[in-house]
């Protein structure tokens, strides 16, 4: 007797179950990650079978006319849909060959073999590390189109609205040929618009916009978890908000290390209407700020080495108890009082103007610490935003109720399939596997890398460093080489600009304060004699093309004005020159007074550096900054692990209480 046909269960909102590992499992995964992190180059070699499978079809597709290619696209789509979750090499190679041929005809761009390798790595659930200028945007179209032809909705994520809109617009002719619809999710769109966009086969959007839309969906699912329940609700109450996403199917992430690592230290929070629940009124804010100003670091509180947070000492808690006495108002409640004072201390000592935020139009505008861009519609939660407003003498806005929250770690673990690309992933290979189960694959360059790296130049003071940078920038300028000076904050950019002005050197400053023309400014940074000052990775994702005669002069000169908390960020800046085998030069000018050496735990290293400088010269103390950078990287990784563990505990607590998030 023939067995009855079993159809797959239709999922209303597909997403992968977030597995909660125990301590032993996490330890074993950590050991596994240490082994996997060392195989980045070997994995690329193992992927080379896709090149044979792709090139096998090249002559056949090259001989076809447009109608033949469209017929082939339908046949390939049907073949891919037979095994959409596995995508065999044979069928994927045929899809890649077809996409490459169509791309050459409609875009005028044919994918290199290294781009084929990168796309196959992403479809295999890996992070493809590809040098800047290797064409990651075009590379992604192979993976995105193949997944979409297999019938799987695809989210293509990048770090800002400009890049998502630019990449989608550039690649739409390719997707149109295959009959694939494309939506671009941007800040400021209403709910109905977003719902329509998420019905497209391919959706481009920033990681933040898609993540927050997912949180909004979770809030709806929490209120009405069943598909039938929501349909009934919409019949009874037509104004009920619909779900935005179609679930979490496939995510292709550009600048993957920035999204999955750098931004993973901050939880994503959706807030609702204004609230004063819990006693967070203006009087409490003001009293907590006054108390915080009178507290002494070391006696009442401490700032853990390398971490951006305040920890109260027992003496500090006793001090607060004495101040509260027998009061029965909000300040008299220990948990509220302590929380408010800690947030006031955070505002005073951790969140600094020009780095964490800017004051614009009488409002506190948060600066994304990873990109240097202003996020005008974002606010800190749990009273922190109000404390910063109070610190700056601004009108205090009302606190808002937290409706839903999640971390990037838990969000991306829920996608059925994740792949990504970036220029700097190997330094984070251990964490990418241990948290997300994503292996890093080192994709070779299409042309040899001929950049020149000068040794680090170390100075005892910041003033000496900036003077040397201005002098070196003048040398490059006179030689006809464009210069890109990388800084880590708006304040540092202003300091660099002052030094260049004093030296009579024309330049442009690209920072969070004026990011509207960011891409245009950074794209022109390769013109002969141009000097550009850029915060962190402002302009990331935009190619710097060399102007006429620049290659002969030596290419783009990149000057690192200080080391960042992560070596990966330094490598990102270094990667702005030498694209596609072009010449370029990288130099680092550092000082023992840099921001990296000012944090907690750096005092002893700074003293050692000064002693060595006096005894053997400044260059002898370079290892001090490298040691400090490694220590800070370890502390940030610890902070991300702590956040993930807190999120797990919160998830378990909410599960017991019946909440979904």
What is the tens place of the pLDDT at every residue in 586-611?
999 988 888 877 766 676 677 777 77
Annotated binding site: 115, 133-137, 543
pLDDT at 656 over 50: no
What was the pLDDT predicted at 18? 72
- Helix boundaries (H) for 47-111: 49-55, 58-62, 66-82, 89-106
The three state secondary structure string of 43-56 is: HHHHCCHHHHHHHC
| Average pLDDT score over residue span 420-447 | 89
Tell me how far apart the alpha carbons of residues 2 and 640 are, in angstroms, rounded to a whole number: 53
Query: In a 10 Å sphere around its CB, with 0-12 CB exposed, 13-18 middle and 19+ buried, how is residue 332 labelled?
Result: middle
Tell me what percent of the residues of the chain surpass a pLDDT of 70.
84
Residue 326 pLDDT class (50, 70, 90 cuts): confident
Rounded to the nearest 5°, which phi and psi values hold at 547? -75, 180
Tell me how far apart the alpha carbons of residues 32 and 613 are, in angstroms, rounded to a whole number: 42
Tell me how far apart the alpha carbons of residues 252 and 140 are, in angstroms, rounded to a whole number: 8
Give all strands of the β-sheet with 439-442 in edge-to-edge order: 182-184, 202-206, 154-158, 250-254, 417-422, 126-129, 439-442
Lowest mean pLDDT among 349-363, 538-552, 613-627: 613-627
- Helix boundaries (H) for 178-251: 191-197, 207-223, 227-236
What was the pLDDT predicted at 8? 43
Domain ranges of the chain: 23-267+409-442, 276-398, 452-625
Tell me how far apart the alpha carbons of residues 79 and 90 are, in angstroms, rounded to a whole number: 10
CATH of 452-625, one of 3.40.50.300, 1.10.3720.10, 3.40.350.10, 3.40.50.1580: 3.40.50.300
More confident residue, 61 or 404: 61
Q: What one-character DSSP code corresponds to residue 10?
A: P
Lowest mean pLDDT among 295-299, 400-404, 577-581: 400-404
Residue 53 pLDDT class (50, 70, 90 cuts): very high
DSSP-assigned letters across all residues of 454-511: PPPEEESSHHHHHHHHHHHHHHHHHTT--EEEEESSHHHHHHHHHHHHHTT---EEES
Q: Cα 56 vs. chain centroid, distance in angstroms?
A: 37
Retrieve residue 533's tokens: 């000052």
Q: What is the pLDDT of residues 161-193, one digit of tens each?
A: 878 888 999 999 999 999 999 999 998 888 889
What was the pLDDT predicted at 70? 94
Instruction: Determine the length of the chain.
Output: 661
What was the pLDDT predicted at 540? 63
pLDDT at 278 over 80: no
Tell me how far apart the alpha carbons of residues 276 and 645 are, in angstroms, rounded to a whole number: 29
Please, what sign has the CA dihedral across residues 98, 103, 108, 113? negative
pLDDT at 10 over 60: no
Yes or no: say if 532 and 521 are a contact pair by the CB < 8 Å rule: yes
Tell me how far apart the alpha carbons of residues 568 and 129 are, in angstroms, rounded to a whole number: 12
Q: Cα 642 vs. chain centroid, distance in angstroms?
A: 19
Tell me how far apart the alpha carbons of residues 636 and 564 are, in angstroms, rounded to a whole number: 12
Residue 311 pLDDT class (50, 70, 90 cuts): confident
More confident residue, 278 or 70: 70
Lowest mean pLDDT among 37-41, 257-261, 547-551, 605-609: 605-609
What was the pLDDT predicted at 537? 59
Retrieve residue 152's tokens: 């799987």
More confident residue, 447 or 541: 447
The SS3 call for residue 426 is helix
What was the pLDDT predicted at 302? 87
Q: What is the pLDDT of residues 91-102, one digit of tens each?
A: 999 999 999 999
| Average pLDDT score over residue span 222-244 | 56
pLDDT at 370 over 80: no
Tell me how far apart the alpha carbons of residues 91 and 566 are, in angstroms, rounded to a whole number: 40
* Other beta carbons within 10 Å of 369: 19
Retrieve residue 78's tokens: 């049907």
Residue 415 pLDDT class (50, 70, 90 cuts): very high
What was the pLDDT predicted at 361? 81
Residue in 244, 250, 268, 348 with CA at minimum distance from that of residue 303: 348
Helix (H) or strand (E) segment spanning residue 272:
strand 268-274
What was the pLDDT predicted at 7? 40
pLDDT at 239 over 60: no
Retrieve residue 506's tokens: 């024309």
Tell me how far apart the alpha carbons of residues 451 and 549 are, in angstroms, rounded to a whole number: 17
More confident residue, 369 or 296: 296
What was the pLDDT predicted at 228? 46
| Average pLDDT score over residue span 286-304 | 89
What was the pLDDT predicted at 200? 94
Domain at 23-267+409-442: CATH architecture: 3-Layer(aba) Sandwich (3.40)
Retrieve residue 59's tokens: 């002559």
Mean pLDDT (the chain) is 82
Retrieve residue 175's tokens: 């997707």
The SS3 call for residue 219 is helix
Angle at 164 between CA 163 and CA 166, to 5 degrees: 60
pLDDT at 652 over 60: no
Q: What is the CA radius of gyration of the chain?
A: 27
Q: For the chain, what is the largest distance between any 2 Cα atoms, rounded to a whole number of angstroms?
A: 90
Yes or no: say if 366 and 359 are a contact pair by the CB < 8 Å rule: no
Strand locations in 304-429 (E) = 311-312, 357-360, 363-367, 374-375, 400-406, 417-422
Residue 401 pLDDT class (50, 70, 90 cuts): low
What was the pLDDT predicted at 276? 44
Residue in 378, 381, 374 with CA at minimum distance from that of residue 353: 374
What was the pLDDT predicted at 275? 47
Q: What one-character DSSP code corresponds to residue 353?
A: B
Retrieve residue 630's tokens: 């490694």
Lowest mean pLDDT among 9-18, 399-408, 505-514, 605-614: 9-18
Residue in 219, 50, 278 with CA at minimum distance from that of residue 143: 50
Do 276-398 and 452-625 share a fold? no
What was the pLDDT predicted at 240? 58
Q: Which residues of 484-504 are buried (b: 16+ CB within 10 A; e: fewer)?
A: bbbbbbbbbbbbbbebbeebe
Residue in 432, 62, 110, 133 with CA at minimum distance from that of residue 257: 432
pLDDT at 449 over 90: no
Residue 511 pLDDT class (50, 70, 90 cuts): low
β-pairing verdict for 417-422 and 126-129? parallel
| Average pLDDT score over residue span 213-222 | 83
Q: Cα 446 vs. chain centroid, distance in angstroms?
A: 26
The SS3 call for residue 158 is strand
| Average pLDDT score over residue span 426-449 | 89
What was the pLDDT predicted at 416? 92
pLDDT at 4 over 60: no
Residue 407 pLDDT class (50, 70, 90 cuts): confident
Tell me what percent of the residues of the chain surpass a pLDDT of 90.
33
Tell me how far apart the alpha carbons of residues 82 and 99 are, in angstroms, rounded to a whole number: 19
pLDDT at 120 over 90: yes
Yes or no: say if 20 and 235 are a contact pair by the CB < 8 Å rule: no
Q: What one-character DSSP code corresponds to residue 427?
A: G
Residue in 158, 128, 30, 39 with CA at minimum distance from that of residue 431: 30
Retrieve residue 61's tokens: 């597709």
pLDDT at 205 over 90: yes
Annotated binding site for ATP: 115, 133-137, 543
Residue 402 pLDDT class (50, 70, 90 cuts): low
The superfamily CATH assigns to domain 276-398 is SecA, preprotein cross-linking domain (3.90.1440.10)
Tell me how far apart the alpha carbons of residues 395 and 178 are, in angstroms, rounded to a whole number: 53
Q: What one-character DSSP code corresponds to residue 307?
A: -
51-65, 456-470, 540-554, range with greatest mean pLDDT = 51-65
């Amino acid at each position: 007797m023939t067995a009855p046909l079993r159809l797959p269960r239709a999922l209303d909102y597909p997403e992968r179950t977030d597995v909660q590992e125990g301590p032993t499992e996490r330890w074993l995964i950590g050991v596994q990650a240490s082994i996997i992190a060392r195989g980045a180059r070997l994995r690329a070699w193992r992927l080379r079978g896709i090149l044979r499978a792709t090139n096998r079809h090249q002559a056949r597709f090259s001989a076809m006319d447009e109608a033949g290619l469209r017929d082939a696209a339908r046949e390939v789509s049907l073949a891919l849909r037979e095994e959409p979750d596995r995508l065999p090499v044979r069928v994927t190679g045929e899809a890649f060959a077809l996409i490459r041929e169509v791309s050459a005809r409609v875009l005028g761009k044919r994918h290199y073999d290294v781009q084929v390798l990168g796309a196959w790595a992403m479809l295999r659930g890996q992070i493809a590390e590809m040098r800047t200028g290797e064409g990651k945007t075009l590379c992604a179209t192979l993976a995105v189109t193949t997944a979409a032809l297999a019938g799987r909705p695809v989210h293509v994520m990048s770090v800002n609205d400009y890049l998502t809109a630019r990449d989608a617009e550039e690649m739409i002719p390719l997707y149109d040929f295959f009959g694939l619809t494309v939506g671009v999710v941007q800040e400021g769109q209403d709910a109905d618009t977003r719902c329509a966009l998420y019905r497209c086969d391919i959706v481009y959007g920033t990681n933040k916009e898609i993540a927050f839309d997912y949180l909004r969906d979770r809030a709806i699912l929490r209120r009405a978890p069943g598909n039938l329940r929501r349909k009934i609700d919409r019949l009874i109450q037509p104004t009920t908000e619909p779900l935005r996403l179609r679930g979490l199917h496939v995510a292709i992430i550009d600048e993957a290390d920035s999204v999955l690592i750098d931004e993973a230290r901050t939880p994503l929070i959706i807030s609702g209407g204004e609230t004063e629940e819990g006693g967070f009124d203006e009087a409490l804010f003001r009293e907590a700020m006054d108390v915080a100003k009178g507290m002494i670091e070391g006696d009442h509180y401490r700032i853990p080495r390398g971490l951006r947070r305040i920890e109260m000492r027992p003496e500090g808690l006793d001090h607060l108890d004495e101040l509260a006495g027998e009061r029965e108002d909000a300040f008299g409640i220990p948990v509220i009082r302590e929380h408010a004072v800690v947030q006031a201390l955070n505002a005073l000592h951790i969140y600094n103007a020009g780095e964490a935020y800017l004051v614009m139009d009488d409002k506190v505008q948060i600066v994304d610490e990873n990109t240097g861009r202003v996020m005008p519609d974002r606010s800190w939660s749990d009273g922190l935003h109000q404390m910063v407003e109070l610190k700056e003498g601004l009108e205090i806005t009302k606190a808002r109720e937290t409706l839903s929250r999640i971390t990037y770690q838990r969000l991306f673990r829920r996608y059925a399939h994740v792949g990504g690309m970036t220029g700097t992933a190997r330094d984070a290979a251990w964490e990418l596997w241990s948290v997300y189960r994503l292996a890093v694959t080192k994709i070779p360059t299409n042309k040899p890398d001929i950049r020149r790296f000068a040794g680090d130049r170390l100075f005892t003071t910041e003033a000496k460093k900036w003077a040397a940078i201005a002098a070196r920038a003048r040398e490059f300028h006179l030689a006809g080489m464009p210069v890109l000076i990388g800084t880590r904050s708006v304040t540092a950019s202003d300091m660099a600009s002052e030094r260049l002005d004093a030296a009579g050197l024309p330049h442009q400053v690209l920072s969070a304060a004026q990011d509207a023309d960011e891409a245009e400014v950074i794209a022109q940074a390769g013109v002969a004699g141009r000097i550009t000052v850029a915060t962190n990775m402002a302009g990331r994702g935009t190619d710097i093309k060399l102007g006429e005669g620049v290659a002969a002069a030596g290419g783009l000169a990149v000057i690192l004005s200080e080391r960042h908390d992560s070596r990966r960020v330094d490598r990102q800046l270094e990667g702005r020159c030498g694209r596609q085998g072009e010449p370029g030069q990288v130099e680092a000018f550092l000082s023992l007074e840099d921001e990296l050496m000012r944090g907690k735990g750096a005092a002893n290293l700074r003293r050692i550096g000064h002693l060595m400088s006096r005894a053997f010269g400044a260059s002898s103390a370079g290892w001090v900054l490298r040691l400090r950078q490694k220590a800070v990287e370890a502390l940030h990784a610890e902070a991300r692990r702590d956040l993930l563990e807190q999120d797990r505990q919160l998830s378990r607590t909410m599960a017991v209480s019946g909440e979904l998030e």
